Amino acid sequence: MGRETRARARPRGAPSRRSVAAGFDRLFWDYPAGSISPDADTDLLARRVTAEGGWREMSLLRSRIGDQAIRDVIERTEARGLSPQRIRFWQLLLQLPARSADAWVRRARESTWARRARR
């Protein structure tokens, strides 16, 4: 009875907390299973997947939160945490402004971590 009641309590078509994180397991190894919610954790999902996700995770993110939400997070954070290659990828996919993307790429290439990697 308890299981049936819980299943009916969630609106039809709304993803469960468990199903939201299911496709992102390898990226969120440091979070308890089922603790990621697309509504409450949109920034976290977008930042982690855009920076580290593979094609499957990126496609899943786009279907779960949408391109506009991803674009909003990238613009608000000024693409911090993304590699120059990832910035260019998302620039093309989401049609981000070239001037902004150029500045973000320049900053990413001049970062301390980027300089250390070149040695």
| Cβ partners under 8 Å of residue 60, min gap 6 | 23, 24, 49
- pLDDT for res 117: 63
Q: Where are the domains of the chain?
A: 15-118
Mean pLDDT by 10 residues, the chain (119 residues): 40 44 78 80 92 94 93 97 96 97 96 64
User: How far apart are the C-alpha atoms of 7 and 11, rounded to whole Å?
Assistant: 9
- pLDDT for res 41: 86
